[in-house]
Amino acid sequence: MHAGDRPQSRRTPLAWAGGLTALLFAGAAWPVAPLRDAATGAAADGHLRLSPAFVAFAPLNNTLDALSLLSVREHEAVWLLLVAIYIGWRIRRRARAAAPTSRRQELSVTAIALGCLVVVYAGGALVPRPMAALALPAQDSDLVTIDFHSHTDASHDGRPGFTAARNRAWHAAAGFDVAYISDHFTFAGAEVGTRGNATRAGDGTVLLSAIECLEGGEHVNLLGVTAADYEMFNGRYLAARAVEAVIAAGRTRPVIVQTIPGTLGQLPKPGMLGVVPVTAIELSDAAPRGLSDGDRNRTRILALADSLGLALVSGSDNHGWGRTAAAWSVMRVPGWRALPPERLEQHIEDGIRTQGRHAVQVIERTRPQWPTRAAAARPGGWRADAIGAPRFLVQFIWQLAATRSWSERASWLVWTWSIAVLVAVRRAPRGRPTPA
C-alpha cells in the first residue's frame, strides 16, 4: 500500500458528508416548491404531509420517491450516471491499490453493485413504506382530491394481492379523498371497492366505479359506469351506437377520460365518425411511460384542452407497485364530506361535464423534466441524450436537495454524518505495532 493511502481514505467520507451538507444548505437558501400546478408550473397551495416514520428515514424515502417520479428516459440517464460513478470509483481504487485486482474480483464487485441497484428498485416497488400525502389548506374544506385512474388485481397486469381494500389504503396514505377503480375491461375490483365505502364521503377514502377500455384505438377511462352498463361495450371496445342509444333512452352521458400515453392525433373528439368524444384528458399519468408522454406532449395536451373544453385530470395509474403519488386532481364540491358517495360521484362528473377546462386543478410533485428541445428530438438519438442528460441530472440532484423541508434536511444530516463518522472511525489506524 502506498504511503498516505489510509489517511486519504479516512478523509473521504467526511469530505462527502461536507459536500452533501453544503448542498442541503444551498437548497435551503434557494428552495424549490415541492408542489406545483401541472398546467402553469406555478407553486401550488397545500403542502406534503409527512409522517414521523417518513421523516426518520427521509434519505431513503426521498430517494425512492425521486426515482419513482422519473420517466423512462430519465431512468436511463440516472443509470448512466451511476455507471460513470462506478467506473470512476473502480479506476481510482485500482490506481491506489498495492496490487492489481483480478478479473474475477472485478466481476464480483460489479455483480454486487448491480445487485444493489436491483434491490433499490425492487424495494421501491414492493416494500411497504410511509408515503408523502397532499394536505390542502385547512380553511377550505370544500376541496376534494381525486385519482381518476387506478387498478386492482382484477386487471390482468395488476399486482397479485392488490385488492380493492389495499387500493383504498394506498390512496388514503397518499392524501386522496376519492379514487376511481378503472380496471381493464372488468368491474370486479370496482364492485368490491364501492361496497366498502362509508355512508358519508368524509368518513374515509371513497372508491368509485370506472373501467378502462378502447375507443377509436385509444385507451380511455369511462367514469360512473358499472356492470349494469356492459351493453355499451363490444368486447374491449366502447360501442358508440350503443352509448348513443342508452343516452337517448335517458341515461346520463358518461364522462370519458383520454389516458396517456396515447396518440393525440387519434383523440376521440366531436365530428369523428363512430366514436364517443372524450370529456377530459390526463395531464399527468404516474407510470414511467405516462410521465414521458406527459412531459413530451404537455404543450399539445394543454392546447387540446383549451380548444375542446376538456377537463385536465391526473391519474396514478397505480397497479399496486410503489408508494409514491405523482399528482392529485382537485375539485371544489361544497359540503362534499356530508354527502353519500353516490351523490359525490354525481357532483364530480357533473362538474366535469359543465365546467370542462375549469373543472379541475392538477397539483403535481415537483420533478425534473427532460429539456424540451431534447425531448422533442428523435427518441433515443445520441445527440438528444448527450444534450439532455447533463441538464436533467443537475436538475435531479438540485431538486432532491431544494424541495426538502427542514425536518427532512435534519434527518439527512443526522444520517449523513453518522455514517461518515462511523466509516472514518473504522478506517482509522488501530495503533502502531509494538517494537521488537
Quick: pLDDT tens for 223-260. Answer: 999 999 989 998 888 998 999 999 999 899 999 999 99
Burial of 195 (0-12, 13-18, 19+ CB in 10 A): exposed
In whole angstroms, what is the distance from residue 375 CA to residue 372 CA?
A: 5
> Taking residues 86-96, what's their average pLDDT?
86
Q: What is the rounded average pLDDT of the residues 48-57?
A: 97
pLDDT for the residue 432: 55
| DSSP 8-state class, residue 184 | B
pLDDT of 9: 61
Q: How far apart are CA 239 and CA 81, in angstroms?
A: 48
Which residue from 351, 291, 337, 341 is spatially nearest to 315, judged by alpha carbons?
Answer: 291
Which is it for the CA torsion 303, 304, 310, 316, positive or negative? negative
What nine digits make up the cell of 94?
485500482
Q: Give helix 5-29 / helix 406-427 axis angle, nearest 10°.
A: 180
Instruction: Give the rounded distance of the alpha carbon of 41 from its chain centre.
Output: 17
Quick one: pLDDT at residue 77? 87
**The predicted structure's pLDDT at residue 375:** 43
What value does the mean pLDDT of the chain take? 90
Residue with more model confidence, 218 or 311:
311
Euclidean distance between CA atoms 390 and 135, whole angstroms: 33
Q: Is the dihedral of CA 14, 17, 22, 25 positive or negative?
A: negative
Instruction: Report, as an integer, the average pLDDT of 211-228.
Output: 92
Q: What predicted TM-score, i.e. pTM, was given to this entire model?
A: 0.91
pLDDT of residue 6: 45
Cα distances from 86 to residues 72, 80, 126, 158, in angstroms, run 21, 10, 26, 35
**Residues near 435 by Cβ (< 8 Å), separated by ≥ 6?**
none
Q: What confidence category does residue 381 fall into, taking pLDDT thresholds of 50, 70 and 90?
A: low
Q: Distance (Å, rounded) from C-alpha 378 to C-alpha 364?
A: 27
- Alpha-carbon 109 to chain mean position: 32
Name the pLDDT band for 100 (thresholds 50, 70, 90). Answer: confident
Give the Cα-Cα-Cα angle 425, 431, 432 (nearest 5 degrees): 145
For residue 171, which of 335, 366, 327, 349 has the smallest C-alpha distance? 327
What is the rounded average pLDDT of the residues 142-171?
Answer: 97
Top pLDDT among 101 and 135 is at: 135
